[in-house]
Structure 1
């Protein structure tokens, strides 16, 4: 498998702006969102997803969502279990607030009692996971995850970490920073946002974030600042390059902004684009996504991003 997303698929319910008591059901979860966009940008059969689901109707629906977007399903089934739920409300600026029901979700045990899941995770060309992936895992599964990440690091396999931070999923910010810091040290690419770096790591500005991450990892770093620039530290190098972003668009819903940006970057770099072109392409995708409700836009709403080389 060329690209393997790892995380927790959610049944996501988003309130309608014109009727806040009415919710639309969509598939969600940060790494699943990225997997869907990556699958749309890459050749067929390039992307898989690893997790654990139940045997209920909601789990079957999530599997169908993955199948509809050409994602290979590596989610084991736990009998009697049900996936997590997420309710999202947005304000007038498109900013989100979350309510979760996920404590008993089978994804929390995705690596327990499963040599198959560990083998799939160990062998994929590129694995992408997030701070949320690490947060939801029960201690035994998290230990198993780090064992696989250490194997991948020694083998020179690519691992991508999105530092996506949800305070409600962690005991405290210190724990989150420690766990994500361990993962960053084993990654080949780290995709942080300044908001997450400030909230979890206490980094007051982009310079502090780059310095903190540089001390943790030799990985390539792509830091989104929430403003008009992205900072890029090539892997193993000391220099940091700054790239301007296109003007901001009016956001309807920012839910999938970071997830789609990450997919755009990964896909663009996979097909040989320069960092500058990859950032522009990723930003264009994210700019389209935030103008639609929900994290994943309809396929027909995808922007034309064909002004790049064909993926190898």
Structure 2
């Protein structure tokens, strides 16, 4: 199976579950946990958990947070650049019935083309959309996609954030083999994005996922599970689908594998695979 190179963020997630709705001026008790995160790192962790050979390309700060987050990626090869000036990315996730994220990309925003390793042999490049959405790291994302095309690698992109998507985004991902949006991101991009990429595999939460390409459309339902924490469900879906697709699975089986990984992710706190690590 092809090695997967994931280009994206390695971050620290601060998960906050308030006991009551937050109110201005109030001191609301909450359960607060700090775990390793970052969309790119989460997908890489799930790929390794599922048995894929995977390398994570990211930029972190020269701090304890970055070292701790990097150490929490068993089975993942790391191609990390340490930034001397900016801290490791941090995301505060408010879990109060919905999910609200407050992000400081820090060093991740300074990912640049020089941070990218050479792409040799046979492989697949997966790019986290956060790299493209931030103007400061966008050149690195575009360079990664161009390098993958030049190397003859397959490619995938997860748009990641519907509110940040702009009309320019379909042009940035033109020619990508597989786009992995959720329903809100697909709606923000519009139907025209189907013509820009080889296939679109879109998630719709508990309703499952749908694959659309020039041959047709396939859909599968999501497993019915108890949701404890939705953080990272899409990242896990990406990993499950890519693992199956790169092994030769068709659209329906690839979607099913993605939904199973996403369902596994929401049943425990945090965005990474449950321990013990399984390979």
TM-score, normalised via structure 1 length: 0.77
Cα RMSD between the aligned structures? 2.6
Offset, 1:166: 5.3
For the pair 1:253 / 2:256, whether they are aligned, the reply is: no
1:14-37 per-position Cα deviation (integer Å, ceiling 9, x unaligned)? 124669523111111111111100
- 2:25 aligns with none
Relative contact order, higher structure (CA 8 A, sep 6+): 2
Deviation (angstroms), 1:247? 4.7
Specify the alignment match of 1:131 in structure 2.
129
Alpha-carbon shift at residue 107 of structure 1 (Å): 1.7
Tell me how far 1:154 sits from its aligned partner.
4.2
Task: Confirm whether residue 77 of structure 1 aligns to residue 86 of structure 2.
Answer: no
Partner of 1:152: 148
**Residue 252 of structure 1: CA displacement?**
1.8
Which residues of structure 1 form unaligned runs of 5+?
A: 204-210, 307-312
* Cα drift, residue 40 of structure 1: 0.8
Aligned length: 270
Tell me: CA distance 1:294–1:245, structure 2 relative to 1, closer, same or farther (3 Å): same
Name the structure 1 match of 2:22. none
* Contact 2:208 2:259 (8 Å CA) reproduced: no
Whether the 8 Å contact between 1:163 and 1:196 is mirrored in structure 2 is yes
**Structure with greater helix share of residues:** 1
Give the one of 39, 54, 67 matched to 2:61. 54
Q: 1:301 to 1:125 in 2, by over 3 A?
A: closer
Kindly indicate whether the alpha-carbon contact (under 8 Å) linking 2:9 and 2:41 is maintained by their aligned counterparts in 1: yes
Structure having the larger proportion of residues in strand = 2
Structure 2 spans left out of the alignment, 5+ residues: 20-27
> Which runs of 4 or more aligned residues in structure 1 lie more than 6 Å from their structure 2 counterparts after TM superposition?
none
- Partner SS for 1:233: strand
Alignment correspondent of 1:108: 109
Deviation digits for residues 118-156 of structure 1 (CA, Å, limit 9, x no counterpart): 343577721111221212350xx4234324423422443
Deviations 1:75-117 (A, max 9, x none): 111224311211111123xx31112233xx12222215x2xx3
The CA deviation at 1:162 is: 0.7
Q: Is the 8 A contact 1:14 1:88 kept in 2?
A: yes
Partner of 2:193: 213
TM-score, normalized by length of structure 2? 0.86
